[in-house]
Structure 1
Amino acid sequence: MTNDPVIEIRNLSKLYRLGTIGTGSLRQDVQRWWYTNVLKKEDPFFKVAGNQENSHDFLWALRDINFDIREGEAFAIIGRNGAGKSTLLKILSKVIRPTQGVIRGRGRINSLLEIGTGFHDELTGRENIYLNGHFLGMTRNEIRGKFDEIVDFSGVEQFIDTPVKRYSSGMYVRLAFAVAAHLEPDILIVDEVLAVGDAEFQKKCLGKMNDASRKEGRTILFVSHNMQAVSNLCHRAMLLQKGMMTMIGPATQVVNRYLSGIQQHQLMQQWNDPNMAPGNAMIRMKSVQLIPVQDDVTAPIDIRTTLRLEFEFWNQEEGIDLATGIHLFTQSSECIFDVSSKSATYSKGLIKGNCTIPGNFLNDGSYYISIIFVRDTSVEIFYLNECISFEVEDYRENMNWYGKWMGYVRPNFPVTLTPVPSL
C-alpha cells in the first residue's frame, strides 16, 4: 500500500426530489441538462432545492462527503440501512451522477453492486466473462489467459455455456464475483453481495479480496454488515449516518464506534420509589443492571465479554424462605439457561443479588433476561419479565470464515489434534 491517493472525493453530495421525475417543467429540465451536461456546471435547480432544509419533498442521500483512498488500500464504508453507502458506491462506479462535488480517480474500476452486475441474462457464462473483460478494456487474449482461473473459482464449469438467466442466485453471484476479482481491475467495489453466498464461498471471496489488496496492491472498496469481516479485511473505514460522514479512521475503531451506537439494549433499570416499582406485597424491585466487564467502556459487547448481572429488591415479608432465579432467553424466546440462588430465610429489608455470565460462553445474537422470585422452593411470588436486553457481537481471530457460528452457546473448549506416527 502506498500513500498516493487513487480516489479523491471532495464536497460530494446527492439530492433526490421525492415522488417526482425531473423538475415538473420542460423548460427547467432543458435548462438543467444544458448546465450539467454542456456547461459542466452545478445543477441550478438542486442548488435552490437544497436550501429548503425543512422540505419533505427533497432528500439528501449524501451531504458534503470528503475523503481519500490510497492505492492498495482495503477501505470499508459502513452504516445502517439508508445511510447512503450504496448511493456513494454507485456514484463512484458512474452508475449515477452526484448533485455536486468532485471525484478524481485513476485506474480501471470493476463494481459488484448486486448479483450479476454487468451480466446479460441471455448470454452464457462464457460470453459474459468476455463481455465484462471488454468493459474493463482488456483484450481477448488477456481475458483468455484468466478464463480457466475464473471458471475454477466460480465452480460453475458444468454450466459455463448455459445462459445465466437459468443460474441459481448462488451460481450467479459466484460467477459475478469471480469475474470481478480475476479480471485485474485497479479498484474493486463490492457492495454486500457476499451475503447471498454460502460459507465456503464467503471464505474464498474474502481470501481473494485479502490477497488482491495485501499481495497484489489493488484497491478494495467494501460495504458489508459483517463487522468482523470489515475489521479483519480492511485497513480503514468510514461511518455514514443519514448521508453524512461521522467518522473515518482505522477499521477497528470505526467498527467499535458503529457497534456501540447500534446495539439495541436496555442494560439498566432503576426505581427509587418502592410504591411505583414493579412487584407486589412481598417483593418490590429497586434496580437491575447488566455490567460488561471490560477495560474499554466504549467497546461493544462481544462473545469474549464477561457480563455481571446485579439487582436489588425490597423484601417486604419477615422470615420468608426465598430463592431467586435468572432466566436467559434468545430474542426468539428460547431459554438458554435457568440458574438459581440457594433457598434461604430472609428478614425484611433491601437484598442484593448478582450473577456472572463468563466470557466465551454466549454465541453472537440478541438476548434478554428475566428474574423469578420463588417462595418455599416451589411457589412463584413474582416474575420480572424482560428486565434486561442486550446484543452480543461476533469476534474471530486468525480466521477467514465469517458465516454464522452454529448453536446458542459458544464455549471455548479446547480441541486438540495429535498426529499418529506411522508404523
Structure 2
Amino acid sequence: MSDTVIQVDTISKLYQLGEISTGTLSRDVSRWWARVRGQEDPFQKIGEANDRTIKGTSDYVWALKDISFEVKQGEVLGIIGRNGAGKSTFLKILSRITKPTSGRIRVKGRIASLLEVGTGFHPELTGRENIFLNGAILGMTKAEIRAKFDEIVDFAGIERYIDTPVKRYSSGMYVRLAFAVAAHLEPEILVIDEVLAVGDAEFQKKCLGKMKDVSEREGRTILFVSHDMSAISTLTQRAILMDHGQVSHIGTTPETINAYLNRYVKKNLIYTAPPSDSRPQIIRAEVKTNLPNNHHTCLAPLVVEIDVHTPFPLRGASISFQVVNNRDQPITHLWTFDSERPMCREAGIYQLRCDIQAFRVYMGNYTLKVYFSGPPGGETYQILEYICPFTVEMFELYREFKWYPGTCTYLENAEWVVKKSATGSSHYLL
C-alpha cells in the first residue's frame, strides 16, 4: 500500500477580475454548455499569470497553474512564497473550500484546516459547542470528543471562556481554540496557514511543539504555510516554493529557503534608485565590508550608508535598518530619528552613515531591510527588503567565543552621522 496521502495532479485555479460573469449572456451559455459536455471552459485560455505587481491586460488571472506534487504519510511539508503566490488558494482547494478550475487532488484521510481566524466556527455557538461541532464534522462520536475535551481546553488555555459564544473571543483566543481543536481531534492531515502569527510567542512555540509531536509520534501529515523561515526550518524537512501561482522549487527545507531568498535578494552590494519628484524615498544603500566580494570579518567594524531624498520638508523622519539572516530572521535593528540627528527638514538629499564598532554576528549570509518612516505611528514612506547581501566570516573566532547558530540575536552599538547634500555642498549635521 502506498504511503502517499496527498497527490496533487496539475491543479489550476482561474479567477475573473471585476464582474463574475463573462459579460454577455451568449458567453455564459457557451461556458455552461461546455461544462455540461465535460469540455474545457472556452474562456480559460485568455488568463494571465498571477503577478500582483504589474497591471495586466486580461480580466482573467491564474491564481494557480499546473501544480503537481506528492506528500507522504507523517511528512511535515512547508509551503513558502511571497504574498499573492497562491499558497492560501491551494490550501482552500485542498480543504474543499473552493474547487479547482482543472486538475485533481487525491487525499487519503480526514483533513482539519486552520486557514483564517474563525474558520469552521459558528460565531453564535460557545467554545464548548464548537468543539463538538468540529468533531462531528470530522466524523467523531460524542464519546470520542468528550475523551479529548479536557485536553483541548487545557491546551487552548481559555477554560474560563469555554461557555462564552466565540463571537466575543479576541483573535488570539480564536486561534488558540481553533488550533487546539484541529490538533487534538485526530485528523490524518493537518493544514495550517499563517494564522499562528496572531498568537503570542509562547503559544506559537507551544503550537510548533505540538505539530512536531503529532507528526513524529502519531504519524500525521502536516502542511504548514508561513512567512517565518525560522518556524519552517524548525518544523519541516521538505518545502515548496510558490511563485506567481506555480511551484518554483521543491526540495529540502534549506535548499528551498535559499531558493526563496536568492529569487528576491538584490545581488549588488550597493542599492541605487533615481529620486522621485513626488514622494520621499531611499535612493542608495551600501554595506562597506572589510574583505573583497561582499565578505566581512566577524568583530571588524562595519559601515552602512543610506541616502534618502525628499522633494518636500518632512517632520519627525526616521531611518532604520535590520540585518537579516538566511532564515529571514532580523538579527539586529539600528535606527536614528530626526530628534537625534536632524534630517529631512528641508527638501533635498540626506546621506546617513552608521558605524558599527565591532560587528558581532555568527558566520553566514546576510542582507539588509531598510525603513524610511515618519514619526512613530505615522506614515511609512518606503521599506526595502533583501538588499546589499554580504557574508560574515569567522575563521577561528568561534573557538574563542564558542558561538553557535541561533544564539546571536542582540542589539548592536553604533554611531550615526547625517550629512545634507542638496546643492552640491555638504555639511555634517551632528
Give the residue type in structure 1 aligned to 2:321: T
The 3 A distance-change label for structure 1 pair 143 and 397 is farther
**Contact preservation (8 Å) 1:43, 1:99:** no
How many residue pairs are counted as aligned between the two chains?
330
Superposition deviation, residue 59 in structure 1: 0.8
Residues 216-237 of structure 1 deviation map (CA, whole Å, 9 limit, x = unaligned): 1000000000001101101211
In the alignment, is the contact (CA less than 8 A) between 1:293 and 1:306 conserved in 2?
no
User: Do the aligned partners of residues 21 and 137 (structure 1) sit closer, same or farther apart at CA in structure 2, a change above 3 Å counting?
Assistant: same
1:330 maps onto 2:330 in alignment: no
How far apart in 1 are the matches of 2:298 and 2:84?
30
Q: Residues 185-237 of structure 1: CA distance to partner in whole angstroms, max 9, x if unpaired? A: 11000000100000110011000111111111000000000001101101211
**Could you tell me how far apart the structure 1 residues matched to 2:292 and 2:6 are?**
38
Change in Cα spacing, 1:296 to 1:103, as seen in structure 2 (3 Å) is: farther
1:203 is matched with which residue?
Answer: 205
Q: Tell me the residue number matched to 2:184.
A: 182
107, 110, 129: which one pairs with 2:109?
107
Alignment map for 1:297-308 (pairs within 5 Å)? none
Q: Matched residues in 2 for 1:115 and 1:392: separation? A: 38
For 2:122, the equivalent position in structure 1 comes to 120
Quote the residue 1:49 is aligned against: 46
Partner-residue secondary structure (3-state), 1:15 = strand
Residue in structure 1 matched with residue 12 of structure 2 by the alignment: 13
TM-fit CA distance, 1:104? 1.0
Deviation at 1:368, TM superposition (A): 6.2
Any unmatched runs of 5+ in structure 2?
A: 51-55, 273-284, 305-318, 323-332, 338-355, 372-383, 392-402, 414-430
Cα deviations across residues 44-89 of structure 1 (Å, max 9, x unaligned)? 2344434999742111111111100111100011100001100111
Aligned with 1:78 (options 72, 76, 80): 80
Pair 306,78 (structure 1): closer, same or farther in 2 beyond 3 Å? farther
Percentage of pairs with the same residue? 50
Note the C-alpha offset of 1:25.
Answer: 3.8
CA separation in 1, counterparts of 2:294 and 2:389? 17
The CA deviation at 1:268 is 3.3
Name stretches of at least 5 consecutive residues in structure 1 with no aligned partner.
271-286, 312-327, 337-353, 370-385, 400-404, 411-423
- Measured in 1, the distance between the counterparts of 2:290 and 2:185 equals 46
Contact preservation (8 Å) 2:84, 2:244: yes
**TM-score of the two chains, using structure 1 as the length reference:** 0.67
Give the AA of the match of 1:330. F
**Residues 394-405 of structure 1 aligned to structure 2 (within 5 Å):** none
Per the alignment, do residues 398 and 407 of structure 1 end up closer, same or farther by CA in structure 2, a change over 3 Å counting?
closer
Taking a change above 3 Å as real, the CA distance of residues 131 and 22 of structure 1, as seen in their structure-2 partners, is same
What letter corresponds to residue 247 of structure 2 in structure 1? M
Please name the residue that 1:408 is paired with.
Answer: 411
1:307/1:31 CA distance change after superposition, 3 Å: farther
Distance of 1:264 and 1:47 partners within structure 2: 35
Counterpart Cα distance in 1 of 2:83 and 2:293: 30
Tell me: CA distance 1:204–1:296, structure 2 relative to 1, closer, same or farther (3 Å): farther
Q: Deviations over 1:22-58 (max 9, x none)?
A: 223445445545654x66x354234443499974211
Q: Which secondary structure state, in structure 1, belongs to the residue aligned with residue 42 of structure 2?
A: helix
Matches of 1:161 and 1:355, distance apart in 2: 57
1:24 and 2:30 matched: no
Q: Which amino acid aligns with 2:360?
A: P
Within a 5 Å distance, the mapping from 1:362-373 to structure 2 comes to 366=368
2:344: which partner in 1? none
Distance 1:253 1:78, change over 3 A: same
For 2:125 and 2:89, the matched residues in 1 are separated by: 28
Superposition map of 1:24-173 within 5 A: 24-26=23-25, 28-29=27-28, 32-33=31-32, 36=35, 41-50=38-47, 55-173=57-175
Check 1:168–1:294 CA distance in 2 against 1; reply closer, same or farther (3 A cut).
Answer: farther
- Structure whose CA Rg is larger: 1
CA deviations 1:246-305 (Å, max 9, x no partner) are 1001111101211233345751379xxxxxxxxxxxxxxxx97545989999xxx9xx98
Mapped partners of 2:287, 2:184: distance in 1: 51
Letter of the structure 2 residue corresponding to residue 159 of structure 1: Y
Is residue 288–residue 309 contact of structure 1 (8 Å, CA) maintained in 2? Answer: no
Distance 1:132 1:119 in 2: 8
CA distance in 2, matches of 1:292, 1:76: 37
Q: Deviations over 1:386-417 (max 9, x none)?
A: 9x964799x99689xxxxx985349xxxxxxx
Q: Pairwise CA RMSD of aligned residues? A: 4.3
Cα distance in 2, alignment partners of residues 155 and 35 from structure 1: 52
State which of 239, 244, 267 in structure 1 corresponds to 2:246.
244
Contact kept, 8 Å, 1:110 with 1:187, in 2: the verdict is yes
Kept in 2, the 8 Å contact 1:46–1:99? The answer is no
